[in-house]
Amino acid sequence: MPSKQPLIIDGKSISVKVKESLVPTIQKLKKQGVTPGLAVILVGDDSASQSYVRMKEKAFEAMELFSETFRLPEMTTQPELEQLIDELNREDRFHGILVQLPVPENLNELKIILKIDPGKDADGIHPVNLGRMVLGVEAPLPCTPHGILMLLKYSGIDPKGKHAVIIGRSNIVGKPIANLLWQKRALGNATVTLCHSRTKNLPALCQQADILISAIGQPHLIDRNYVKDGAVVIDVGINRVDDPAARRGYRLVGDVNYMDVIDKVAAITPVPGGVGPMTIAMLISNTVYLAEKSIQT
């Protein structure tokens, strides 16, 4: 059991630092007549997606950046959505385009992502940009994995030589964070194990982790049986659980049972207030990066 108090990795305050670090670039761009701009496309009325989009709108407004949300009905067709993306690809005021995922089942997510101009891919999930990321070539990085790297950086945690165990293999979190952590670069050089729902002996594998990252969407599944003494735990999960005492009738919890593991860990991200704010900060960072690139080419 670690003798020191665990470090609570405060994503809110680290996200503020990341956003502050972007201010000089934003000011420089504005002097050149460019205000970084983001187009957000939200299809349907999933309430979690609506609330994520509102948070993104507020964050852009607070940074005095431009954003516009295109709210489309649930029954939007693939050609209608692709036509909108084509139009946004051509509009100079938008340096970044983000389609809020997941989209309704009648839409083809991969085709949608492929429609976005890789030079406007604010989420960093277009195959061109993911390919560049894998090759270690400069690209807008996927927001949540990039945010996790920033959490580690600002907390003074170097993954070099550590064993990172990641649970979850989605295209937006698990696969890219695994890839970034083993790359030969700053905030990389870890040895990585990637787990998923077919992994056998998951608790035993997780117990080997110096850095344990959970992105599975299962409330409180990860308890102390999955955690090694002194581990760094990054909880990506955002899960709604019923809570009649809460104003909205639910509260948000992570994949990790925070109270159960807190006396074992060296550092941990809370939910909410851990990875979530970083995802938005990195979206802003990507939009600013894409705006800069747009005037260099």
Question: For ligand NDP, how many residues bind (rule: CB under 6 A)?
Answer: 26
- Here the tokens at position 204 are 């035993």
Residue 170 touching ligand NDP (CB under 6 A)? yes
Residue 275 touching ligand NDP (CB under 6 A)? yes
The single residue among 12, 163, 169, 220 that binds ligand NDP, judged by CB under 6 A, is 169
The single residue among 49, 50, 108, 218 that binds ligand NDP, judged by CB under 6 A, is 218
Nearer to ligand NDP, 29 or 215 (CB): 215
Q: Which stretch binds ligand NDP (CB under 6 A): 23-31, 104-112, 115-123, 196-204?
A: 196-204
- The catalytic residue among 56, 162, 175, 264 is 56
Q: Which stretch binds ligand NDP (CB under 6 A): 70-78, 125-133, 154-162, 232-240?
A: 232-240
Nearer to ligand NDP, 90 or 196 (CB): 196
If DSSP states are collapsed to H, E and C, what string results for the chain? Answer: CCCCCCEECCHHHHHHHHHHHHHHHHHHHHHCCCCCEEEEEEECCCHHHHHHHHHHHHHHHHCCCEEEEEEECCCCCHHHHHHHHHHHHHCCCCCEEEECCCCCCCCCHHHHHHHCCHHHECCCCCHHHHHHHHHCCCCCCCHHHHHHHHHHHHCCCCCCCCEEEEECCCCCCHHHHHHHHHCCCCCCCCEEEEECCCCCCHHHHHCCCCEEEECCCCCCCECHHHCCCCCEEEECCCEEEECCCCCCCEEEECCECHHHHCCCCCEECCCCCCHHHHHHHHHHHHHHHHHHHHHHC
Residue 279 touching ligand NDP (CB under 6 A)? yes
* Residues 284 and 35: beta-carbon distance below 8 Å: no
Residue 281 touching ligand NDP (CB under 6 A)? no
Nearer to ligand NDP, 139 or 178 (CB): 178
Residue 238 touching ligand NDP (CB under 6 A)? yes
Residue 167 touching ligand NDP (CB under 6 A)? yes
Nearer to ligand NDP, 84 or 103 (CB): 103
Nearer to ligand NDP, 169 or 293 (CB): 169
Residue 144 touching ligand NDP (CB under 6 A)? yes
Q: How far, rounded to the nearest angstrom, does the alpha carbon of residue 46 sit from its chain's CA centroid? A: 19
CB of 248 to ligand NDP, least distance (A): 16
Residues involved in catalysis = 56, 100, 123
Per CB under 6 A, residues contacting ligand NDP are 144, 167-170, 172-174, 195-199, 202, 215-218, 221, 236-239, 275-276, 279
